[in-house]
């Protein structure tokens, strides 16, 4: 792994370099500000990771992020798209500001792994790298796979659905689980969706993954239902799949082949401006709903769905994005967003789910807001199917 560090404070930069070497970085390049970082990127080629301070003289972290982002690839200073695999920012500023920086990075098309509060410690650095590394191959997390390699892996059966429980906030009982795709790569170990979902979506090949996950999720839920009646399984569907007029029928066929009642399956669509805006997408949504499938709006609050779209499309669940949940219990504006979303969901007749519940404080905030369900590391991380079955058996008192 090649890392570039941009930090104007000499001592802090040296400390960071030492920590990265301790954590096993192969090569660490150093820059005193954004300008020097860009020069290095142009001269020595792509890096896997950029760690940059937000406040630097000459060119600060934000300008640097803009210049490595794809959105501004015509700027005089900008480098080739793809020169930087991912970015971590360092800052002494408050969290709400870092959150805006994260949004900004996303808008510039830059993959932000996280922010580290100063003072920098080995633990903090390890944590940010771990959040990423835990789910993704530890050896080479930023390897770029070609669509061909991904499809080969799929056809060889190397992809598994992992399951993360969704729990009722009032009873603490498991209500269902979300299927999250994982690739058991023969060389790189366990690889997470960020490495294969976007390339498949861009190539128009996401359906092969979608249907593999639907099949596994339906079969798994069928099995869980014997332990717990009414349990549901959620599957992520790319919004572009809704453009296919045959989608609803194909999903129904997979579910019925597994012997699962469609009412036990929830389909999650990320909130985008496109949802329910064309005839075909609406037809698919209505067909799915008529057959009994649950329809969920994922990552609510990050997209641009209008209230009218929410009201007109036949959704049954609203998942509040984790950027409003994780670590925000003490923040009045974030609480207000959560409360408003929960109330709106209730008035529209949807169930509400809070994502990214990492602590008891996150859990309590959702509970106080009247949210129906919670999902997150505080309850459990996504786990392999066999492990989820054990989890469920423990919960239902069968072991």
Q: Output the smallest distance, CB 315 to ligand C2E, in A.
A: 15
Q: Which stretch binds ligand C2E (CB under 6 A): 47-55, 283-291, 330-338, 352-360?
A: 352-360
Among 135, 334, 352, 385, binds ligand C2E (CB under 6 A): 135
The residue (of 79 and 191) whose beta carbon lies closer to ligand C2E is: 191
**Are the C-beta atoms of residues 73 and 108 closer than 8 Å to each other?**
no
Give least dist CB 330 to Ca ion, A: 23
**Residue 254 near ligand C2E by CB under 6 A:** no
Tokens 């997150």 appear where?
Answer: 376
Site mask for ligand C2E (CB under 6 A), range 74-113, x = bound: ----------------------------------------
Smaller CB distance to Ca ion: residue 160 or 355? 355
Residues 284-323 that bind ligand C2E (CB under 6 A): 298-299, 322
Mind giving me the DSSP string for 82-110?
A: TSEEEEEEEESS-HHHHHHHHHHHHHTT-
Cβ proximity of 164 and 108 under 8 Å: no
Question: Cβ distance 143 to 124 under 8 Å?
Answer: no
Catalytic residue among 178, 283, 355, 395: 355
d(C-alpha 252, C-alpha 261), whole Å: 10
Radius of gyration of the chain (CA): 22
326 binds, among Ca ion, ligand C2E, none (CB under 5 to 8 A by kind): ligand C2E
The nearest distance, CB 16 to ligand C2E, in angstroms, is 23
DSSP H or E run through 233? strand 232-236
Binding at 377: pick from Ca ion, ligand C2E, none (beta carbon under 5-8 Å per type): ligand C2E
Q: What is the DSSP letter of 383?
A: B
**Residue 382 interacting with ligand C2E (CB under 6 A):** yes
Any catalytic annotation for residue 57?
A: no
Sign of the dihedral through C-alpha 4, 10, 12, 17: positive
Q: Contact, 108 vs 71, CB < 8 A? A: yes
Indicate which of Ca ion, ligand C2E, none lies near residue 238 (CB less than 5 to 8 Å, by partner kind): ligand C2E
CB within 8 A of 355, min separation 6: which ones?
299, 319, 320, 321, 322, 325, 375, 376
Pick between residue 91 and residue 234 the one whose CB is nearest to Ca ion. Answer: 234
The DSSP line for 139-208 is: S-TTPPPPHHHHHHHHHTT-EEEEEEEEEETTT--EEEEEEEEEEEETTTEEE-GGGTHHHHHHTT-HHH
Q: How far is the CB of 78 from ligand C2E (least distance, A)?
A: 28
Question: Residue 88 CB, nearest distance to ligand C2E (Å)?
Answer: 14
Residues that bind Ca ion (CB under 5 A): 236, 268, 298-299, 355
Rule CB under 6 A: which of 162-221 touch ligand C2E?
164, 180-181, 192-193, 197, 206, 209-210, 213
CB of 302 to ligand C2E, least distance (A): 9
Identify the three-state secondary structure at position 325: coil
Unique residue bearing structure tokens 């890392």: 3
Return the number of the residue (34 or 239) whose C-beta is nearest ligand C2E: 239
| Binding site residues, ligand C2E, CB under 6 A | 135, 164, 180-181, 192-193, 197, 206, 209-210, 213, 236, 238, 298-299, 322, 326, 356-358, 375-377, 382
- State the catalytic residues: 355
């Amino acid at each position: 792994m090649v890392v570039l560090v941009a930090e104007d404070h000499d001592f802090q930069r040296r400390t960071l370099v030492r920590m990265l070497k301790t954590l096993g970085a192969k090569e660490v390049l150093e820059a005193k500000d954004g300008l020097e970082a860009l020069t290095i990127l142009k001269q020595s080629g792509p890096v896997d990771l950029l760690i940059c301070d937000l406040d630097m003289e000459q060119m600060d972290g934000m300008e640097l992020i803009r210049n490595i982002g794809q959105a501004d690839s015509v700027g005089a200073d900008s480098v080739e798209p793809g020169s930087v695999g991912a970015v971590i920012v360092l800052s002494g500023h408050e969290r709400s500001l870092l959150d805006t920086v994260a949004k900004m990075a996303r808008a510039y098309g830059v993959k932000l792994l996280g922010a580290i509060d100063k003072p920098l410690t080995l633990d903090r650095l390890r944590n940010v790298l771990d959040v990423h590394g835990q789910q993704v191959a530890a050896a080479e997390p930023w390897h770029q796979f070609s669509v061909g390699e991904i499809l080969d892996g799929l056809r060889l059966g190397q992809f598994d659905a992992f399951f993360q429980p969704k729990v009722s906030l009032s009873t603490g009982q498991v209500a269902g689980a979300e299927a999250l795709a994982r690739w058991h790569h023969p060389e790189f170990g366990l690889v997470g969706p960020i490495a294969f979902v976007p390339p498949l979506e861009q190539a128009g090949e996401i359906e092969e993954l979608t249907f593999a996950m639907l099949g596994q999720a339906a079969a798994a839920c069928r099995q869980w239902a014997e332990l717990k009646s009414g349990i549901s399984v959620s599957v992520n569907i790319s919004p572009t799949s809704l453009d296919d007029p045959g989608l609803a029928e194909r999903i129904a066929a997979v579910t019925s082949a597994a012997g699962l009642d469609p009412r036990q399956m929830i389909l999650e669509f990320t909130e985008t401006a496109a949802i329910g805006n064309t005839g075909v997408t609406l037809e698919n949504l209505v067909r799915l709903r008529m057959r009994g499938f649950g329809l969920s709006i994922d990552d609510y609050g990050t997209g641009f769905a209008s209230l009218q779209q929410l009201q007109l499309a036949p959704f049954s669940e609203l998942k509040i994005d984790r950027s409003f949940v994780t670590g925000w219990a003490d923040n009045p504006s974030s609480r207000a967003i959560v409360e408003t979303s929960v109330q709106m969901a209730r008035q529209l007749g949807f169930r509400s789910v809070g994502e990214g519940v990492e602590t008891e404080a996150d859990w309590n905030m959702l509970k106080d807001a009247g949210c129906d369900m919670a999902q997150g590391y505080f309850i459990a991380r996504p786990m392999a199917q066999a492990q989820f079955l054990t989890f469920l058996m423990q919960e239902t008192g069968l072991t």
